[in-house]
Amino acid sequence: MKTNFFAVLLVVLSLVSCKDDKKEGEQASPEAETPEVAVKQNFSVELDVAASKKDDFTLYYTEDNTTAFTGELAAWRGVQGDGKRETVVFDLSEEKIPTDIRLDFGMNKEQESVTLYSVKISYYGNEINFKGVDFFKFFIESKDFKTEFDQGTGAIKFIKTGSEYKTPFYYPRQELIDALKKLTTVAS
């Protein structure tokens, strides 16, 4: 009988000693339960896209309030193609603070179409997010490519027209230039 009593006492003591250190009535704070998301310490552009063929996309940028884009201030990222949805991330180094950006959706002459679902531009915790259907609110439309909008997914599809290939590239509208200035100068 004494053995059972001691066994029960040991189990109870081990359960009591293993309980949470919270005081009675105290609840865990939301910060403690939610893991902190790391804030990128640089300028970044993320594209949620699907391309029909393997290709390379480019982010051109300037830091002098002009649209004189050159290969010296550019970042290239590959896309897998095959129509699979993927995220393409352009991370610039910490010291780069673009005033204007241009997006090029590939150089592959066999590219048939590119679908853009969304764009996220971030800088030290500040963000600009928009769906593909809103792309031309921020970038100048090119008549070299046919575009189709899918209101259901919020995507825009760029489709090659004609037999001659032209790289689909898009310059910023004033709305984007203003948004970039606000993004890179307002503390988060």
What confidence tens digit (pLDDT) does each residue in 6-51 have?
A: 444 444 445 444 444 444 444 544 454 555 656 678 999 999 999 9
Residue span of the structural domain in which 100 resides = 43-185
Distance CA 134, CA 117 (A): 10
Residue 167 has what pLDDT?
84
Per-residue pLDDT reduced to its tens digit, 140-156 = 988 878 889 988 889 99
Contacting residues for 39 by C-beta, under 8 A, at least 6 apart: 124, 125, 188
Residue 168 forms part of a structural domain = yes
pTM for this one?
0.76
Residue 19 forms part of a structural domain = no
Contacting residues for 133 by C-beta, under 8 A, at least 6 apart: 149, 150, 151, 154, 155, 156
- Number of independent structural domains in the chain: 1
76/14: higher pLDDT: 76
Our measurement of the distance from residue 143's CA atom to the centroid of its chain's CA atoms, rounded to an integer in Å, reads 26
Residue 26 forms part of a structural domain = no
User: Are 173 and 138 a contacting pair, CB within 8 Å?
Assistant: yes
Residue 22 forms part of a structural domain = no
Burial code (b: 16+ CB inside 10 Å, e: under 16) for 106-127 equals: bebeebebbbbbbbebbbbebe
User: Are 79 and 20 a contacting pair, CB within 8 Å?
Assistant: no
Per-residue pLDDT reduced to its tens digit, 162-181 = 777 788 899 999 999 999 99
Task: Quote the tokens at residue 18.
Answer: 């293993």
Per-residue pLDDT reduced to its tens digit, 109-134 = 888 889 999 999 999 999 999 999 99
Residue 5 has what pLDDT?
46
Provide the residue type at 78 as one letter: G
